[in-house]
Amino acid sequence: MEIHTHIGTHIEGPYHCLEDGKKLDQLPVETFIGEAAVVDLTRTTKMDREIRRTDLQKSGNHIKRGDIVLLFSGYDKLFTTEQMQSEEYMSNSPYLSDDAIEWLINRKIKNMGIDFWSIEKYPIDPRIGEPKHIRLFKNEIPFIHSLVNLSEIKSKRIFFVALPLLISGLDSSPVRAIAIEF
Phi first, then psi, for residue 174 (nearest 5°) are -60, 150
Digit-coded pLDDT (tens) for 128-180: 999 999 999 999 999 999 999 999 999 999 999 999 999 999 999 999 999 99
pLDDT exceeds 80 at position 102? yes
pLDDT exceeds 70 at position 117? yes
- Contact 166/25 with Cβ under 8 angstroms? yes
pLDDT exceeds 70 at position 12? yes
Say if residue 6 is exposed, middle or buried (CB neighbours under 10 Å; 0-12, 13-18, 19+): middle
What's the mean per-residue pLDDT of the chain? 94
The residue-averaged pLDDT of 84-106 equals 94
Where does residue 135 fall: left (phi above 0), alpha (psi -120 to 50 degrees), or beta otherwise? alpha
- Contact 131/95 with Cβ under 8 angstroms? no
- Contact 71/117 with Cβ under 8 angstroms? no
Which domains are assigned to the chain? 10-181 (3.50.30.50)
pLDDT exceeds 70 at position 52? yes
Radius of gyration of the chain (CA): 15
| Percentage of residues in the chain having pLDDT higher than 90 | 87
Q: Please give the pLDDT value at position 44.
A: 66
The residue-averaged pLDDT of 29-47 equals 89
Digit-coded pLDDT (tens) for 22-32: 999 999 999 99
Distance CA 134, CA 16 (A): 9
Q: On the CB side of 143, how many CA atoms lie within 13 Å of its CA?
A: 29
- Contact 146/8 with Cβ under 8 angstroms? yes
Q: Look up the pTM and report it.
A: 0.95
68 closest CA partner among 25, 101, 107, 17: 107
Say if residue 101 is exposed, middle or buried (CB neighbours under 10 Å; 0-12, 13-18, 19+): buried
Distance CA 165, CA 143 (A): 15
Distance CA 42, CA 25 (A): 33
3-state secondary structure of 32: helix
pLDDT exceeds 90 at position 45? no
The residue-averaged pLDDT of 86-102 equals 95
Measured from the Cβ of residue 181, the count of other Cβ atoms closer than 10 Å reads 11
pLDDT exceeds 70 at position 21? yes
